[in-house]
């Protein structure tokens, strides 16, 4: 018989190393901090060595533990692949995707029906984030983020380029048309705290001076700013092709579509120690295909 370590403790240990803390591992597994600690202690007793050491208030994996966790993840990947191959064909597969809120609302979620049609056995659960600094702390199979960034723990797959331009509600432009890029005096310019240079970059691309007589309104999150633009509260700067559908549906208009500011593109991030399931591979390929699809023609 094989002398195997306690498998449940091994599973908890692998998640604790990948998540970076007992607390986050507990959240992912539905366990208390104490339960995670006990499972790790059981594995340490079986192995006869420490796997985590205390650094300040945190428990940090030792170098040996990180190597062991990587090998454990590979073994779990093989076990998952075998289960996928031998499991019930109609059993649902859950794929957890983390994405920025605006991207999820405006680009990803409206397209998910196409993926579901191709992979009806896979359920995609989307969790949104508005604080990108804390965005890569476990709890997902794939994350969508802007890049390129240093992501040493993830395989990064580029799939969508993006550019900004001026947007407004059609009703607002009908009541007061914009005839040239610099014609912004007396307008309300809407901005976002997390995107402070949107207007400056667009005005530079347009070759227009900063207007003197304007009112500024700044919101904390970009999806709030976009809603204010659609409601006719003022002019905004918006990303394409993320907002293609809003233009096609008549919720937004683009008065100067030729004036664009390139932005960092989107990447699919797959943790190196994630379960490499067929569903995850299919979803990654689908993102690449959707990102390569022709963009909608943007009317003025």
Class of domain 7-86: mainly alpha
Question: Quick one: pLDDT at residue 88?
Answer: 60
The contacts found for 204-211 with CB under 8 angstroms, 24 or more apart, are 205/259, 205/260, 205/261, 206/181, 206/182, 206/256, 206/259, 207/181, 208/181, 208/182, 208/184, 209/182, 211/182, 211/184, 211/185, 211/187
Listed residue (32, 36, 33, 34) closest to 11, CA to CA? 36
What does the domain layout of the chain look like in residue ranges?
7-86, 93-161+264-292, 163-262
Q: Which CATH superfamily is domain 163-262 in?
A: Periplasmic binding protein-like II (3.40.190.10)
Task: Report whether 144 contacts 267 (CB < 8 A).
Answer: yes
Instruction: Band the pLDDT of 109: cuts 50, 70, 90.
Output: very high
Count of CA atoms in the C-beta half-sphere (13 A) of 117: 4
- Asked whether this chain's domains 93-161+264-292 and 163-262 adopt the same fold, the reply is yes
Average pLDDT score over residue span 188-204: 92
Task: Count how many Cα atoms sit within 13 Å of the Cα of residue 65 in the half-sphere of its side chain.
Answer: 23
Contact 162, 144 (CB under 8 A): no
Mean pLDDT value across the chain: 87
Give pLDDT, residue 90. 56
Give the model's pLDDT for residue 139: 75
| Banded model confidence at residue 125, pLDDT cuts 50, 70, 90 | very high
Topology annotation, domain 93-161+264-292: D-Maltodextrin-Binding Protein; domain 2 (3.40.190)
Q: Which two tokens stand for residue 42?
A: 């059981």
- What 3-state DSSP class applies to 163? strand
Count of residues in the chain: 300
């Amino acid at each position: 018989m094989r002398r195997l370590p306690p498998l449940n403790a091994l599973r908890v240990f692998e998640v604790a190393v990948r998540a970076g803390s007992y607390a986050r591992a507990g959240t992912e597994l539905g366990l208390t901090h104490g339960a995670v600690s006990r499972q790790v202690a059981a594995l340490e007793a079986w192995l006869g060595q420490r796997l985590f050491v205390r650094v300040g208030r945190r428990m940090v994996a030792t170098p040996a533990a990180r190597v062991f966790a990587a090998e454990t993840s590979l073994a779990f990947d093989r076990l998952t692949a075998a289960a996928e191959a031998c499991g019930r064909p109609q059993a649902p597969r859950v794929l957890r995707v983390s994405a920025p809120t605006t991207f999820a609302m405006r680009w990803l979620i409206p397209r998910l029906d196409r993926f579901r049609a191709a992979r009806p056995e896979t359920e995609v659960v989307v969790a949104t984030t508005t604080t990108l600094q804390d965005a890569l702390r476990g709890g997902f199979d794939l994350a969508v983020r802007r890049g390129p960034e240093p992501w040493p723990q993830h395989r990064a797959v580029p799939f969508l380029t993006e550019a900004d331009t001026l947007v407004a509600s059609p009703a607002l432009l009908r009541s007061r048309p914009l005839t040239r890029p610099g014609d912004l005096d007396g307008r309300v310019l809407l901005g976002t705290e997390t995107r402070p240079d949107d207007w400056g970059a667009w005005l530079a691309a347009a070759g227009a001076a900063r207007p003197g007589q304007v009112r500024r309104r700044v919101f904390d999150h970009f999806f709030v700013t976009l809603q204010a633009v659609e409601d006719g509260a003022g002019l905004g700067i918006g990303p394409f092709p993320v907002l293609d559908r809003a233009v096609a549906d008549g919720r937004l208009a683009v008065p100067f579509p030729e004036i664009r500011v390139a932005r960092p593109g989107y990447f699919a991030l797959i943790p190196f120690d994630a379960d490499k399931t067929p569903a995850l591979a299919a979803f990654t390929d689908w993102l690449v295909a959707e990102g390569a699809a022709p963009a909608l023609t943007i009317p003025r």
